Chain A
Amino acid sequence: MEALSYRGVQKTFGDVKAVKPLDLDIPQGEIFGLLGPNGAGKSTLIRMTMGIYLPDGGAISVLGQPRWTVASAALGYLPEDRGLYTKMRVGELLRFFGCLRGLSAPEAARRASWGLKRLGLEKWENHKLDDLSKGMQQKIQLLVAIQHKPRIAILDEPFSGLDPVNTELFMEVLDELLAEGTTIVLSTHQMEQVEKLCHAIALINKGEVVLQGKVGDIRREYGTRAVSAAFADGAELTEAQFADIAETTVLMPNEARFRLRPEVHAGKILKRLLDLGVKVSRFEEAQASMHDIFVQVVTGRDAGADAAEGGSHAN
């Protein structure tokens, strides 16, 4: 049973097809990355998932049940547009949203104080939200999404605006959620986080799923054309020695990077190096970064070439 399953789901606003008929399955118990450029239809898809918009057509099922039969307790949501009642006290706000997510009053109180403690905000329980810093407000917004321990949490850019310490804290909390069996759908533009956190992704562009699968598979698929090798004695090597198997060759005193010609297996490079008497200390197929894959898929430009020539990561 999938955590979320979309069949022919679509949504049109006026003349704009925000989401074209779309099929997608999000498995349970994983962190799933929902990627795509701005305006690709991610937010619309998320809002339909949360029941804020109704799809024009198709069906969404949550844990095997039709969307509209699913209790709100099963879901948690951190929207991209942050917003809470700024005049409310932190504790009351959390308890209020806990109740809306189906918790009883005492349970909501228990979860709220647990959440505040976990994120180090227990001192702020009786302060108004206005008194909190932006980072602290973001923590409260995360708690609103996850304090009721939903089966599925949809988090839209949860790390934006966080310092590295709080980013680590958020990641820890997500790991704990995952360990408790929550499926996390992460929508983000920060690709190194996708690489670090997500098991699988779907890349949405212009209202359609244009790429989906496990992160490792995708990176391997897009990355097998590049290899890198490390050695101590390669000073004599020349680019011409690899011209028949590598499109480009970048040689450095202790390292070399190659971009393979079509139909050439990475092993050929290793064999050539060994044949040339180089003592290879490390040899690996370079995985394309999610960043490069994203750019390549969305723009149609082969950003993988950059990876071979210097592994640029624009973060």
Chain B
Amino acid sequence: MQTNWGNIFAVIRREFLERVRKKSFLITTLITPVIFGALMVVPAALQIVQTGKPTEVVIVDRTGWAGPAILAAAPSERHAGENSLESRAEKSARGAAILKAATAGQDLESIKQQIGDGRVDGALVLESDDKQDLKATYYGQNISNPQLFQMLSGRLDTVVVVHRLDGLGLDRSIADKLKGRVDLESVKVEKGGKTRKGSIMDFIAPIALAMVIYMMIIMYGQAIMNGVLEEKTSKVVEVLLSAIRPFELMMGKIVGIAAVGLLQYAIWVVIGAGIFMANPMNFQSQMDGSPVKVLQLVLLVLYFFLGFIFYSSLYAAIGAACTTQQETQQWQFPVAMGLVIPFVLMMPTLMTPNAGWVVFLSLFPVTSPITMLLRTGAVEVPLWQIAASLALLAAGTVAVAWAAAKVYRVGVLMTGKRPSVPEMLRWIREK
């Protein structure tokens, strides 16, 4: 019997409609963006809650000049994009701390007492000696607040520079000009010398793309495995296989569930785009030119398509070869490793995208979907490597799908004992 596409389509249709109509689909589709949004918003919100009671720092000035200067210093005037991470952190730190000069009666010992009692959060002692014109010491119960220290040391830098310039007898306006820092801007150079301003998105985009593939395969690969197992335990598979071939059933299931996943992602993309459109100010500076190139999108689709079938076939075979959910666990682990390893190696992959082992992982069918996507984000990958990687993955996918279909065919009707190895091999050889 030839592969009957009508049968595959019927299975695809059933899988798709049954799953999309489930309440759980609607719920996960809507809740996931909420959770992701919460993950981004909640830490910031918590900071705001924290700053409800700002850190109170008493300044004990023994230099005579540094105390007033610090209190008066404008926040770091370092020139940076309004949305750079540093300036944001500083801004929130500024709101998070209140500096005030020590009153006449307060000496260090009494302040320490107050800190110990929790009446004052911290004290900044400013001194000078023969070697240094300014020496600063912070006393506090909490000495692990990076925001506070970043702000304090930023102000100290500014103050001391101004002070030293004054000491040299320079005009204040010249001093103001001198104290500005230098910004380091990164510019990405592409093929043909084309340049593009770098941004944080250059770093995030390839990780995000690889993450999309990873999550899809893990989530929906397991859905396929469970679906196969369910058909097996509910015995419906016998009626199915009396009408269609195991390969048709397996492929229909894989494609049907993949379609569910794509629909879900499409919905998320639309939601994401909606947020982007509604709030363009926040993103536009970072989206200076699209960080995701057309080639990357094409590759994303190709690697997703091939990688999904590759892994889904394995998951389907596991579902068919096992009889209980528990039994599947030990088989799932090695399969998932193929996806997890490239992620564990993500940082070295991005830092040395042309190292020999990275190139190998980006060609090897098991790891290539994720590693190659990471590489394409980090560097211009030679076209021959992309072509070779895709060709190997395609060949590997055909081989795995073929073998998995055979295991599926044997396993899906086995309820008690496992098939013997020779029997399995015979099934694999059969047409």
Q: Contacting chain B: which of A50-58, A186-194, A303-311?
A: A50-58
Min CB distance B10 to A, Å, is 4
- Residue contact A100 to B244, C-beta cutoff 8 Å: yes
A96 touches B10 (CB 8 A): yes
Q: Is there a chain B Cβ closer than 8 Å to A72's Cβ?
A: yes
The one of B18, B235, B244, B430 that contacts A72, using a Cβ cutoff of 8 Å: B244
Interface residue from B234, B239, B420 paired with A97 (Cβ < 8 Å): B239
**Once the chains bind, are B423 and A52 in contact (CB under 8 Å)?**
no
Contact A81 B430 (CB under 8 A): no
Contact in complex: B235, A79 (CB < 8 Å):
yes
Task: Please tell me if B413 contacts chain A, counting CB pairs below 8 Å.
Answer: yes
A26 CA to B178 CA in the complex, in Å? 103
Q: Which residues of B contact A82 (CB under 8 A)?
A: 235
B234 to A: closest C-beta gap in Å: 5
Knowing A79-B238, A83-B239, A88-B18 touch, does A52 contact B413 (C-beta < 8 A)? yes
Contact A81 to B238, CB < 8 A, known contacts A97-B243, A100-B243, A100-B244:
yes
Q: Is B1 an interface residue (CB 8 A)?
A: yes
- The reply to whether B423 and A79 form a contact with Cβ atoms under 8 Å apart is no
Within B220-246, the residues touching A (CB, 8 Å) are 234-244
Q: B6: CB under 8 A from chain A?
A: yes
- Chain A 74-111, CB within 8 Å of chain B: the 1/0 string? 01010101111111100010001101111000000000
Provide the bound-state CA to CA distance between A14 and B420, in Å: 7
Q: Which of A105-133 contact B (CB under 8 A)?
A: none
Expressed in whole angstroms, the Cα–Cα distance for A68 and B430 within the complex equals 13
Cross-chain contact of B1 among A14, A68, A87, A141 (Cβ < 8 A): A68
A residues 32-75 with Cβ under 8 Å of B?
47, 50-54, 68-69, 72, 75
Considering the complex, give the chain B residue whose CB is closest to the CB of A87.
Answer: B18
The answer to whether B14 has its CB under 8 Å from any CB of chain A is yes
- Residues of B within 8 Å of A, CB-based: how many? 23
**C-alpha gap A68/B11 in the complex (Å):** 21
- Enumerate chain B residues within 8 angstroms of A14, measured Cβ to Cβ: 420, 423
B63 within 8 A of A: no
Which residue of B7, B237, B240, B242 has the most chain A CB atoms within 10 A of its CB atom?
A: B242
Question: Which residues of A are found within 8 Å of B6, using beta-carbon distances?
Answer: 99, 102
Partner of A54, one of B239, B240, B430: B430
Please measure, in the bound complex, the distance between the C-alpha atom of A85 and the C-alpha atom of B233, giving whole angstroms.
11
B14 pairs with A96, CB closer than 8 A: yes
Q: Which residues of A contact B18 (CB under 8 A)?
A: 85, 87-88
Q: Which residues of B contact A141 (CB under 8 A)?
A: 239
By beta carbon, the residue of chain B nearest A73 is B243
A38 and B281 alpha carbons, distance in the complex (Å): 75
Contacts of B10 in A (CB 8 A): 96, 99-100
For the A-B complex with A52-B413, A72-B242, A83-B237 known, give 12 more contacts whose Cβ atoms are closer than 8 Å: A52-B241, A69-B1, A75-B242, A77-B243, A79-B238, A83-B234, A83-B238, A88-B14, A92-B14, A97-B239, A99-B6, A101-B243
Q: Across the A-B interface, give the 10 residue pairs with the lowest CB-CB distance, nearest first.
A: A83-B235, A50-B242, A77-B242, A100-B243, A99-B10, A83-B236, A81-B235, A79-B238, A72-B243, A83-B234
A interface vs B, CB < 8 Å? 13-14, 47, 50-54, 68-69, 72, 75, 77, 79, 81-88, 92, 96-97, 99-102, 141, 144
Q: List 28 A-B contacts (CB under 8 A).
A: A14-B420, A14-B423, A47-B238, A50-B242, A51-B242, A52-B241, A68-B1, A69-B1, A72-B242, A75-B242, A77-B242, A79-B235, A79-B238, A79-B239, A79-B242, A81-B235, A83-B236, A83-B239, A85-B236, A87-B18, A88-B14, A88-B18, A96-B10, A97-B243, A99-B10, A100-B243, A102-B6, A144-B239
